[in-house]
Every structure is written in C-alpha cells, then in structure tokens.
Structure 1
Amino acid sequence: MKIFVVGGAGYIGSVCAELLLNEGHEVAIFDNLSEGHRQAVDSRANFIQGELADRRQIDSAISSSRPDAVMHFAANALVGESMQNPSKYFRNNICNGLNLLDAMVSAGVERIVFSSTCAIFGPPDRVPIDETAPARPINPYGESKLAFENILRWYGEIHGVKFVCLRYFNAAGASERFGEDHHPETHLIPAVLQAALGKRPNVEIYGTDYDTPDGTCIRDYIHILDLARAHILALGAAGSGRYNLGTGGGS
C-alpha cells in the first residue's frame, strides 16, 4: 500500500513509518518539522516538508503521492500548554485536520487512521477505561481530539471516509532507529533516563494526592512498537471505529 504519514517526523509517526517500510509499504511523510526532527525521517520514505495550515500544500502533496490511506499524527499535544493557549490547539488539531480531510476527499482517498488520545475521557468513573466510557475532556487538548473524532464520523457519513481512531494512554520505548526527543521533554520515562545520564538535575513528579499507595499517579504504558503495530493493523479494518490502546493495567 501507499501510505501518507502526516507528522511522520515525530515520535510515534517516525516509528510507524519505519515499520511500514520494513513491511514493504510505500511511504510519504508530510511534516513541517515544528516539533518533529528531520533526522527521524526514514531515508527510504519520500519526505515532503509542508504546512497542514496551507490547503494548497496539502492538496499538492496528497495528489502527487496518490496514497491508498493516510495516517494522521500531526498535533499539538501538551495538556498544560492547551490550557494556556487553547486557540493554538483548536486551530492546529481541528482546523488543520479539516484541510487534510478535504484534501483527501478531493483526491479520492477514503481511509484514515487517526492518532487520538485517552484525554478525551477525562476523570474515569471506573478503570480500566473501555470504549463505552463517557467522553468528558477537561482540557482543550482532549477537547480538540474528541472534536476531530466526531468530524471524522461525519466525513464517513457524507463522504464515505473510512476511519479508525486509536486512543492511547502513554507511549514509551523506542525502535532500533527512532525514539522520543521532545523539546521540552515532559514525559516521565525519558526524563528519568535524562536524569540518570546527568542531562537534567532531577525528575519532577506531578501530583502527590492521587488515590494510590504513595499518592503519585499510576499510568498505563504501551510500548511504541506495539502502538505502531496497532496503527498498521488498523489499515486493514473492515469498517470505521474508535478503539482504546493500552495494557489495561498501570505501572
């Protein structure tokens, strides 16, 4: 298959592109490199640097790539920042995503795998959280992802776009070639490793009053290779759907 990976220079997108190429798929990566890294782009992929905010650029990239499916990873994803600058999150995660969908419809591309988030749920009534849990986001980041999930449903109804939304919890780990490199780094596992290597003075723990044995947060971590594999499997889904990805337990 020909796969168009939006945000393929980021953490999850780069690993997913690597696995796609290893399996013999043809991959085009579209990224503006605002948060991704050029060195994270697999040399076997066709790299297109561009802006989702520019409809002409994404139209041109999709029409020239002629993909069978799209994987959409491009998003702003810092919860705290979304509370300070909600406009940035709604514009990038929703409005720019609409440019992508409209370009797909214009080019006759009918399949998309969307990188969503567990942040659409908010505080759960019960754990583990399954797909029937109510969606009640408590920050603009989660709200923007939920809004785009619902937009996908309407593009499915009206334009016949088949979609799979994958809501994951906490990705961790690396492939043989690519791993996490965020600036600033807010994820726990790479922060711990940076502290162990002397690259940061300490590790900050956010929250000490959770209902857990020591009061700190318990998170469900999923390995990046398992996460990438799930995206590839989603390409073959018979119909549209929304799925949670995790282990069902915390650590």
Structure 2
Amino acid sequence: MRVLVTGGAGFMGSHAVDRLLDQGHEVTAADSLIGGFVENVNPAAEFVECDLADREAAADLVASAAPEVIFHFAADATEGRSQFTPLSSMDNNMVGYLNTLVPAIDRRLSKMVLVSSMSVYGAQQPPFRETMPRLPEDVYAAMKASMEAATEHLSAVHGFDYSIFRPHNVYGERQNLADPYRNVVAIFINSLLRGRAIHIYGDGEQRRAYSYIGDTNPVMVDGGLSDRSNGRIFNVGSSEDVSINQLADVVRDVFFDGGPWPAGLEPKYMPGRPLEVKKAFCAHDAAEQVLGFRNTTTLRKGVEAMVRWAREVGPREPAYLPNSLEIGGEHAPATWREQLI
C-alpha cells in the first residue's frame, strides 16, 4: 500500500514510518525539518522536504506520493507557545493539513489517519473520554479541534474513510531534546545532561499521564490501517497520571541512580503559564476494546529508556526562537524570554 507520512522526520512520525516499512508498505515521509531531522528517517522510505503551509508544494507532494492512506503527524505542537504565535500555529496546523487533505481527496484518497491531541478537551474533568465535547483552551487546541471537525465534514461529503487519534504527552527516543517550548520529559532530561537545574511552572501539582512511544506507535499505525477504526476517535496513551513534581522525582531517580538532587540542580519553581490546564489525562476504553490497545511500559521504564538514548546522542543546546512571538511577548514565561532552560 502507498502511504504518506507527514511529519515523517519528527518524533512520532519517524517511528510510524519504521513500522509501516516493517509491514511492507511503500512509504513517503514528508517533513519541513523545522522540528524534525533527516537522520530520523528510515533510508528505505522516500523522503521529501516539504512545507505543507505552501499550497503548491503540498499539492506536488500529494501528486508524487499518490497515497492511498495518509498518516498526518505534521504539526506545530507547541501548545503553550501557540497563545503567542497564533498565525504560525494556524499555518502549520490547520492550513498545512487542508493543503494536504484537499488534493488527496481529489485524487481519491482511501483513508486519512489524523493524529490530533488531548488538548481538544480543554479543562473538562478528567479522565477525558471521546464522547466529551471539544472545548479547547488554547490556539493549538483550537486548530486541532478544527482539523478534526473538517475531517468529519469532508468525509461525509466526499466519501473517504478516516480515523482520529488523540495521543497525550508522548515521550521517548528521537524526541527533539533542543525544543525548549514543549515536551517536559525531554526538557528535564536535556537540562540535566547540560548540568542545568530543571524549571517547574507553578506549584508542580499539574497532573498528566506520560505515554511512551513504544506503546502509542503500534496502536496508531495498526489501528489506523484497520477498518475497525473507520469514522472513530481514539484516545491513546498512558493511564498512569502523575504530578509534574512526581515526574521530576522519577527523572531524578533514574538520572542520579536513586540519589538526591545534586547541589545547584534542585528544581526551580517559576510562575504558572497562562491558561495552563491543571489536570489532563484520558480514558482509553475505546482503543482497548476496539483496537486491543495495551499500555505495557511504566513511567519509570520509559524514562530509563529515554535517558539511555539521550546519553548516547548527548545534550542539545536549546533552540530558542526569540523573534518568533507574534503577540504579547511580555506575557510569555520568563524561561522563554530570558532563555533560562
């Protein structure tokens, strides 16, 4: 089967490329390389560097790849930062997605597998279930909610199949250690590799369930290809919700072999971020019952695997984008403005 994976040089997308190739599919991996890396791409895949926000480039990509199925991982997934970069969030999420989907529909796309986000639930009471409404609390979540709705509407009119996955707080090997705006597990690990203290927003009692890539990747790929997922939305991720403080303790325990924080590396607490949701984690009954999804990796085991990999690749200097905030830079977290991470 001919499969196009957008965001194919990124963290989740590159793992999907590997699994699809292992299953014998003909895979094209497309990526702008803003947050992805060519070295993540399996050499057995056809790689195309492409900015999906460019309508003509996206149409050319779809024409050359001629996909029967598209896995759409491409995203500007900087949830907190989207409050200060709404225009680029729109371009790199909603616009890029429609620039890919529309020409694919015109070429008789069989199925779209949209990788969305738990953020569409907003501040509702967790655990979030797929039956809950979309109530986004930030610009990124609003883009993802719009992408989901557009997929449903266009499918109803034009007749292609789709499935939507809402992974949450995924971490693991190949995550971008240089990104200072998102992915707290990677930020914590990279800070410690660089001999820097970690920073925690607010009181650290925000609760999340961190999901290991080795658990989420198989169900999104296999489930996405299965007819059982057609027309459905699935939460995908860990059910082990912990506070940011507890996550920091796990990272410390793994990184320092069970010892205390070394002097000078104790966590530093910063003011909370605007509109940050305090509790966000999901129920996964639908994925378990329909697709056979199972979480097999504890947070401790997943962090151990990621720390081993991060030590192999080495620390990364944070890739700040100091001139990229479009509005309200004075309201941005000090860790961004002062490049503290």
* TM-score, with length taken from structure 1: 0.89
Q: Deviations over 1:149-197 (max 9, x none)?
A: 00001111111121111111110222xxx44434236322222322332
* CA distance in structure 2 between the partners assigned to 1:71 and 1:164 by the alignment: 10
Alignment of 1:97-108 (within 5 A): 97-108=97-108
Work out the percentage of aligned pairs sharing the same amino acid: 28
The answer (yes or no) to whether the contact 1:11–1:181 under 8 Å persists in 2 is no
Secondary structure at the aligned position of 2:137 is classed as coil
- What amino acid is the match of 1:248? S
Residue 244 (str. 1) matches residue 235 (str. 2)? yes
Secondary structure at the aligned position of 1:219 is classed as strand
- What amino acid is the match of 1:221? Y
Residue 220 (str. 1) matches residue 209 (str. 2)? yes
**In the alignment, what sits opposite 2:54?**
54
Mark the CA change 1:249 to 1:225 in structure 2 (over 3 Å): closer, same or farther. Answer: same
Unaligned runs of 5+ in 2: 243-341
Q: CA deviation at 1:42?
A: 1.1
**In the alignment, what sits opposite 2:186?**
190
Q: CA deviation at 1:45?
A: 0.5
The answer (yes or no) to whether the contact 2:164–2:234 under 8 Å persists in 1 is yes
Q: CA deviation at 1:131?
A: 0.8
Q: Larger deviation: 220-229 or 143-152?
A: 220-229
- What amino acid is the match of 2:235? N
The answer (yes or no) to whether the contact 2:79–2:182 under 8 Å persists in 1 is no
- What amino acid is the match of 2:233? R
Q: Deviations over 1:184-234 (max 9, x none)?
A: 36322222322332x1511111221xxxxxx52221111112211122122
Q: CA deviation at 1:244?
A: 0.9
- What amino acid is the match of 1:231? M
* CA distance in structure 1 between the partners assigned to 2:42 and 2:147 by the alignment: 28
- What amino acid is the match of 2:236? L
**In the alignment, what sits opposite 2:334?**
none
User: Cα RMSD (Å) of the superposition?
Assistant: 1.7
**In the alignment, what sits opposite 1:206?**
201
Residue 78 (str. 1) matches residue 78 (str. 2)? yes
**In the alignment, what sits opposite 2:43?**
43
List structure 1 runs of 4+ shifted beyond 3 angstroms: 178-182
**In the alignment, what sits opposite 1:211?**
none
- What amino acid is the match of 2:185? I
Secondary structure at the aligned position of 2:80 is classed as helix
Alignment of 1:127-206 (within 5 A): 127-174=126-173, 178-184=174-180, 186-197=182-193, 199-206=194-201
Q: Larger deviation: 181-190 or 71-80?
A: 181-190
Secondary structure at the aligned position of 2:27 is classed as strand
- Kindly name which structure, 1 or 2, has the bigger radius of gyration based on alpha carbons: 2
* CA distance in structure 2 between the partners assigned to 1:22 and 1:207 by the alignment: 43
